[in-house]
Amino acid sequence: MILSDLLGSVAVEADGTRLGTILDVRLEVSGAPAQLLAATVVTGVLVSPHSRFSTWGYERRGEDGPLLIARLQRWVHRGTFLVAWDDVERVDEGRVTFRPGYVQRDAMLPRATRERT
């Protein structure tokens, strides 16, 4: 599967309730050691309840400037949450279904990532 098949998919609960759109896929470079870099695994998906349009990451990085753009972006992607890959039950074309009892987590990136990229 390719990443862009997952981006823009509709995120739904187990009972079919629509939650929003898959905005991004969280990765972690922490898998089995490899030649140069450890294997990179998918740890979760980010869901935006209000917009399917691309994000500049303001809601995940805590950046404030330029103020007007930051506020607009935060408003567009208000309520964005992270769902761990363990809580994903099924991936269909254009649709990702979460398990019953899935957990909505804080979408904020760790400090190390925010400072590095």
| Interface with another protein (CB under 8 A) | 1-4, 6-7, 13-15, 17, 19, 23-31, 34-43, 46, 54-57, 60, 81-82, 84-86, 88-93, 98-106, 109-110, 112-113, 116-117
- Closer CB to another protein, 3 or 72, in the complex: 3
- Closer CB to another protein, 61 or 71, in the complex: 61
- Closer CB to another protein, 68 or 93, in the complex: 93
For residues 56 and 58, what is the distance between their CA atoms, to the nearest angstrom? 6
Residues near 37 by Cβ (< 8 Å), separated by ≥ 6?
29
For residues 104 and 41, what is the distance between their CA atoms, to the nearest angstrom? 20
